[in-house]
């Protein structure tokens, strides 16, 4: 074993442990590893910085702004209200109306704002029509994940893998290429939720704070639920030391975490990312802190529609439709021949759409940096450098050679299954982009040493990295609905593990048929 291989292996193990322990944001963990590789001469300055100028990474940044533009027009909240039945209905019928549409939306928009908008509206609606909100919130999160599997822009991981494919010298993925398998998985997953979510998901869990809610409202106070984000300044601090009431003018009455309601000795509780705080406050709280990056979501259980000019809603939706149509048309051979000097790809149309939205003020252009998840972008940029380090050091070839030596009698399809399982496990434990960074060079080396087309392995990574259903920590949307739905960790395992297995079986069976070895 060479010095470089030893350094990379130790660093990668340390990275995985650090991500699991969640002592630091993923972007900083990966950046630390990248700097270590740079200092050891495993990657060059150019290779260290290439990810920060990668087209896929910049596309993800602009998609954050596009999602924010659509969100601020109120187009999504208006749509979900029209989808929700206002008369007496059943869980099955209500899911049949909303879940396919949510999956379709999430194929083209960032999942997090979709869930942030839909989750409180769906919860309030369910309570109003006397249906358990717990039967809807996890399915809402899951279908956004399923929808994201269907397009290149559906999730940042798809764009990361596409960027790595191009860097490796292969032709990148087209807009709907992943949909050849993603749509089948999405439809099957939605049918599974229709049939089994009513049985596998819990009935409504009463919030301890809800018992006094009416009393608080009568005394000119409101109950507000606030989900803490990664940028909240009190993360890992005791509530008593942070003094939430002095900072925000609101009193914390309950902390909801992993399906548990904490109401006693709150001053001694350490605040964690994803905690849902039940606050006693007034009407000014959401107005003052609604745009704060410290909170992922604020909801006061009031179904208030955003007051925005209707033309902005239609204009935002029209821009989205034109962007998607432009990507599809721009990929046609005839169009490529007509304008050979201009590449009309997704990056082109996303760039144009972002600038139009900024100048028409669909999102506040002076605050545009606020709506971009910089940690995600740093994670993506570092993922490219880590992948390059695994190739340069020989780690990818060494591990692939060992696997082939031990599994030489097995065909590529079994190795494809192994790639799915490993990627999916890493996704549940760390982050999807970090999982893709670790597995991509290994998959590429395996395919090259076996002498087969690597594309089936690349598509498998896309599917496996997105299929985060068994835990609330693997995907941010799962974490968001955990608090407001008061779900336990085991609720995700009970309904999500079968969905992971369904995704695995369909991927391993269909991918080699569509992209032969």
Q: At 408, is the pLDDT very low, low, confident or very high (cuts 50, 70, 90)?
A: low
* Sheet of strand 222-228: strand arrangement: 260-262, 251-257, 276-281, 222-228, 295-299
Q: What pLDDT does 284 receive?
A: 77
d(CA 481, CA 470): 14
CB distance 226 to 254 below 8 Å: no
pLDDT tens by residue, 449-497: 888 999 999 999 999 999 989 888 778 888 888 888 888 888 899 999 9
The answer to which of 230-234, 287-291, 377-381 has the lowest mean pLDDT is 287-291
Closest of 82, 64, 75, 113 to residue 321, by C-alpha: 75
Q: At 140, is the pLDDT very low, low, confident or very high (cuts 50, 70, 90)?
A: very high
Mean of pLDDT values over 22-46: 89
Q: What DSSP letter does each residue of 248-306 carry, written as one string?
A: HS-EEEEEEETTEEE-SSGGGPBP-TT-EEEEEE-THHHHHHTT-TTEEEEE-S--PPP
Q: What DSSP letter does each residue of 370-409 carry, written as one string?
A: GGS-HHHHHHHHHHHHHHHHHHHHTHHHHHHHHHHHHTTT
pLDDT tens by residue, 190-236: 999 999 998 899 887 655 555 444 444 445 678 888 888 777 888 88
Q: Cα–Cα–Cα angle for 458, 460, 466, nearest 5°? A: 110
Closest of 130, 256, 117 to residue 203, by C-alpha: 130
Task: Quote the mean pLDDT of the chain.
Answer: 86
- Alpha-helical (H) ranges within 73-136 are 75-83, 91-106, 111-128
Rounded to the nearest angstrom, the gap between the alpha carbon of residue 255 and the centroid of all alpha carbons in its chain is 24
SS3 state at 488: coil
Place of tokens 């982050």: 431
SS3 state at 227: strand
With a cut of 80, say whether residue 260 has pLDDT above it. no
Q: For residue 465, give both structure tokens.
A: 């990295």
Q: What pLDDT does 216 receive?
A: 46
Q: What pLDDT does 205 receive?
A: 60
Predicted TM-score of the model (pTM): 0.86
Q: At 406, is the pLDDT very low, low, confident or very high (cuts 50, 70, 90)?
A: confident
Q: What pLDDT does 244 receive?
A: 84
The three-state (H, E, C) secondary structure of 86-98, written as one string: CCCCCHHHHHHHH
d(CA 380, CA 373): 11
pLDDT tens by residue, 415-437: 899 999 999 988 888 888 888 88
Q: At 259, is the pLDDT very low, low, confident or very high (cuts 50, 70, 90)?
A: low
Mean of pLDDT values over 239-248: 83
pLDDT tens by residue, 95-121: 998 999 999 999 998 888 888 888 888
Q: What pLDDT does 350 receive?
A: 92
d(CA 122, CA 16): 36
């Amino acid at each position: 074993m060479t010095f470089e291989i030893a350094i990379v292996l130790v660093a990668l193990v340390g990275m995985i442990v650090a991500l699991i322990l969640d002592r630091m944001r993923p972007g900083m963990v990966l950046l630390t590893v990248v700097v270590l590789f740079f200092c050891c001469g495993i990657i060059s300055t150019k290779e260290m910085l290439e990810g920060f100028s990668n087209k896929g990474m910049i596309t993800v940044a602009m998609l954050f702004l596009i999602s924010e533009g659509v969100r601020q027009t109120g187009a999504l909240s208006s749509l979900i209200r029209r989808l929700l039945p206002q008369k007496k209905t059943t869980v099955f019928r209500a899911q049949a109306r909303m879940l396919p549409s949510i999956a379709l939306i999430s194929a083209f928009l960032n999942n997090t704002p979709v869930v942030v908008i839909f989750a409180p509206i769906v919860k309030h609606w369910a309570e109003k029509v006397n249906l358990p909100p717990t039967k809807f919130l996890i399915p809402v999160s899951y279908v956004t994940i399923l929808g994201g599997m269907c397009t290149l822009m559906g999730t940042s991981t798809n764009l990361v893998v596409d960027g790595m494919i191009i860097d490796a010298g292969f032709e990148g993925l087209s807009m709907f290429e992943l949909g050849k398998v993603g749509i089948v998985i999405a439809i099957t997953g939605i049918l599974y939720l229709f049939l089994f979510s009513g049985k596998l998901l819990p009935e409504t869990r009463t919030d301890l704070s809800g018992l006094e809610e009416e009393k608080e409202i009568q005394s000119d106070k409101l109950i507000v639920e606030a989900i803490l984000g990664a940028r909240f300044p009190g993360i890992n601090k005791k509530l008593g030391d942070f003094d939430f009431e002095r900072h925000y003018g609101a009193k914390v009455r309950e902390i909801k975490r992993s399906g548990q309601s904490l109401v006693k000795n709150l001053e001694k509780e350490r605040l964690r990312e994803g905690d849902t705080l039940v606050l006693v406050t007034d009407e000014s709280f959401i107005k003052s802190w609604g745009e704060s990056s410290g909170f992922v979501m604020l909801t006061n259980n009031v179904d208030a529609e955003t007051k925005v000019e209707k033309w902005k809603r239609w204009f935002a939706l029209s821009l989205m439709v034109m962007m998607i149509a432009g990507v599809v048309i721009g990929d046609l051979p005839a169009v490529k021949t007509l304008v050979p000097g201009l590449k009309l790809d997704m990056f082109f149309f996303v760039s144009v759409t972002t600038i139009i939205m900024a100048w028409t003020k669909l999102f506040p252009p002076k605050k545009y940096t606020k709506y971009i998840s910089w940690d995600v972008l740093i994670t993506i940029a570092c993922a490219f450098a880590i992948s390059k380090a695994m190739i340069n050091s020989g780690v990818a070839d060494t591990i692939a050679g060992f696997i082939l030596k031990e599994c030489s009698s097995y065909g590529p399809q079994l190795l494809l299954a192994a790639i799915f399982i490993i990627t999916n496990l890493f996704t549940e434990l760390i982050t999807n982009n970090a999982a893709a960074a670790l597995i991509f060079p290994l998959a590429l080396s395996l395919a090259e040493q076996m002498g087969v087309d690597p594309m089936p392995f690349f598509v498998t990574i896309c599917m496996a990295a997105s299929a985060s259903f068994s835990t609330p920590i693997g995907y941010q949307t799962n974490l968001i609905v955990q608090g407001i739905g008061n779900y336990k960790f085991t609720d995700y395992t009970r309904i999500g593990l079968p969905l992971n297995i369904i995704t695995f079986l369909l991927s391993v069976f269909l991918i080699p048929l569509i992209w032969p070895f």
